Amino acid sequence: MPARKPTIDDVAALSGVGRATVSRVLNGGPNVRDEVRARVLEAVEKLQYKVNMQARFLAGGRTQVLGLIYASDLDSEPNSFYHSGLELGALRACTEFGFQLVMHTANQHSLTRATRIIEFVDQSRCDGLILTPPFSDDTDLLEQLQGRNVAVVCISPGEAAQKLASGVGIDDEVAAYELTRHLVGLGHRRFGFLKGLQGHLSAEQRYSGFLRALAQAGIGEDAVVAARGNFTFKSGIELTPGLLKDGQGITALVCANDDMAVGALFSIHKMGLNVPRDLSVVGFDDTPVSEIIWPPLTTVHQPLKAMGYRAVQMIVERVKTGGSAPPPRFEAIAHRVVIRESAAASQPAHV
C-alpha cells in the first residue's frame, strides 16, 4: 500500500516528455505547448503526484515557509486571543498562496531572544518572518535580520522598527480619536484614562488620539485624570479606585485596552457603582470577554485576522517578485468602533 510516492520522473515517463518540461508545467513556466501541458497535467492527476517541497527547495532555494514568532511567556488570555487571530489570518493566506506557516516562540525576557530567533531563521531557512509584539519592536533583532535573506513583516511595530521593516497594524491614534468622539457626543466632559505600558507605541497613540478628540471639542487636558497601567486585568482593578476618588466629576473612563477596562468594571462594581448609569467605560481591542461581560463593552475592534492575512500577503509579494528588500512600509488596516452598552449618555447630575 505505501508504495513509493510518484516522483517527477514518473510523471515525465507517463506523459512521454522530459523531466524539465514537467517542471516547467508545474511552475507555470513559459514555452510549453498547450497540448503538452495538458498531457502532463493529466499524468499528474492520474498519478496523484505532489511535488516534494524539500526537494524543490534544495534545488531552487525557496522554501515557501513563513515563520510566525510569538512570545512564549505570554500565556494569559488576552494574548491567546490576540495571537490566535493573527495566526488564523496568516494561515488562511498561507493556504491560499501555497505557503507553510511554521510557528516559533521565544522568551521575550531572555537576553538571547534575538539569537534564538536568528537561529530559527537559519535553521528553518524560511522565506519570510512575521514578528508579533514585543518582537516587532526589537530593533536589534530587526537589524540582524537585514543581512539574512528573509522578508520580514512586523505586527504593530514601534516607530523605530517601522524604519527597519514593513509592518501592519491599525491606526491607534485615529481609533482612539473616534472612540473619544463617541463619548464626547454622549455628553461626557470629564474623563479618566487608564494608560497602557510606557513606551508602547500603541499605548501612546491611543492616548494622543484621545487628547486630540478632546481638544477638538474644546476640552483641555485638565479635564482628564490619567493613570499608567500595564494592559493587564489586574492593573485595571488596582488603578480604578484611585482615578474615581481623585478625579471627582469623571463620567467616562477610557482604557487603553479591554483587559484593563474589564478590571475597571470589576472594581467599579465592587464600589457599588453602576455602569453605564454612574459611569461609562470603554476599552480597546474587542476581545471576546468584552462581549460576554456585563455590561458589554464599547470598544475598538482590531481586525487581527485581516492583519495576519495582510502580513502574509506582503511577504508573498516580496518573495514572489524575488527582488531585494523594498523600502519598509507600514500599512494600516481598517478598525471599527464597536458600540455596546458600557457607554451611555452622561447623566446631568454627574456633569
Partner DNA sequence: GCATTCGTTGGAAGCGCTTCCAATTCCGCT
Partner DNA sequence: AGCGGAATTGGAAGCGCTTCCAACGAATGC
- Residues of this chain that interact with DNA (CB under 7 A) are 4-5, 7-9, 16-21, 23-24, 26-27, 30-33, 36, 49, 51-52, 55-56, 58-61
Smallest gap from Cβ 87 to a copy of itself, in A, equals 7
Written as one letter, the residue type at 185 is G
Select from DNA, a copy of itself, none the partner in contact with residue 31, using the beta carbon and a kind-dependent cut-off of 5 to 8 Å. DNA
To the nearest whole angstrom, how small is the minimum distance from the Cβ of residue 321 to DNA? Answer: 14
Strand intervals (E) in the chain: 65-71, 100-106, 128-131, 151-155, 166-169, 191-195, 224-228, 252-255, 280-282, 299-301, 330-332, 336-338
Closer by beta carbon to DNA, 56 or else 336: 56
Q: How many CB atoms lie within 10 A of CB 46?
A: 12
* Contact (CB, 8 A) for 151 and 318: yes
Question: CA dihedral in degrees (133, 139, 144, 145; nearest 10)?
Answer: 50
Nearest distance from C-beta of residue 79 to a copy of itself, angstroms: 8
123 is a contact residue toward a copy of itself (CB under 8 A) = yes
Residue 30: which of a copy of itself, DNA, none does it interact with, CB under 5 to 8 A by kind?
A: DNA
Q: Which does 92 bind (CB under 5 to 8 A by kind): DNA, a copy of itself, none?
A: a copy of itself
Query: What's the CA dihedral at 240, 246, 252, 253 to 10 degrees?
Result: -30
From candidates 27, 80, 112, 198, binder to a copy of itself by CB under 8 A = 80
174 to 203: interface string for a copy of itself, x by CB under 8 A: ------------------------------
Output the DSSP codes for 89-153. HHHHHHHHHT-EEEEEEE-TT-TTHHHHHHHHHHHHT-SEEEE-TTGGG-HHHHHHHHHSS-EEE
Helix, strand, or coil (residue 67)? strand
Residue with cell 491607534: 172
Q: How far is the CB of 93 from a copy of itself (least distance, A)?
A: 11
Asked whether the beta carbons of 256 and 194 are under 8 A apart, the reply is yes
Nearest alpha carbon to residue 315 among 156, 82, 155, 139: 155
347 binds a copy of itself (CB under 8 A): no
Only one of the segments 147-155, 169-177, 240-248, 334-342 lies at the binding site for a copy of itself (rule: CB under 8 A); that segment is 147-155
Binding site for a copy of itself (CB under 8 A): 1-2, 5, 50-55, 57-58, 63, 65, 72, 75-81, 83-85, 87-88, 91-92, 95, 100-105, 119, 122-125, 147-149, 233, 262, 266, 269, 287-289, 292-294, 305
